[in-house]
Amino acid sequence: MTTTIFDSPLGLVRVTGDEAGVSAISCVDVSPDEAVSINLPQPLERAVTQLTEYFAGTRQIFDFLMNPAGTAFQQTVWKALLDVPFGNTLSYLALTRRIGDEKAIRAVAAANGKNPLWIVVPCHRIIGSDGSLTGYAGGLWRKKWLLEHERGGSGQLSLF
């Protein structure tokens, strides 16, 4: 596996994968001396380019090769997340209904939380039934920033 790190409006982003595809994207707190690969496999190179375009406001859809590891159920949930359009949100309950088993809401929420492809598989677009910004592995302030960014906001966080 190869790893690269780049700066974004939300802090440092780590992208990991190989020629088979990108397996993980996450926000990280690392020291500047962490090793970063120079010769990236094409899927990682494309991921960095496309994420940079996303942050610049010029990309809404990602088409690089992805290869996240997860159970069959997690893969089903992550595939359903890809159907939530840019700039929109969906409740956990509505996502669970789309998957076909309303009783699996806790399992769907857990799979959402295990999503290894931050931003690209848009788990940040899933909210509470009451519209609240419920948990996000990258922190609620990042979730809020991402949703505002996708709705055409400045990406600048408001204090109130």
Q: 5 and 38 in contact (C-beta within 8 Å)? A: no
Q: Please provide the DSSP assignment of 94-119 as one string.
A: HHHHHHT-GGGHHHHHHHHHT-SBTT
Active-site position among 77, 123, 126, 127: 123
Long-range contacts of 106-111 (CB under 8 A, 24+ apart): 107/73, 108/77, 111/70, 111/71, 111/73, 111/74, 111/76, 111/77, 111/78
- CA 29 from chain center: how many Å? 17
Annotated active-site residue 123? The verdict is: yes
Active centre residues (catalytic): 123
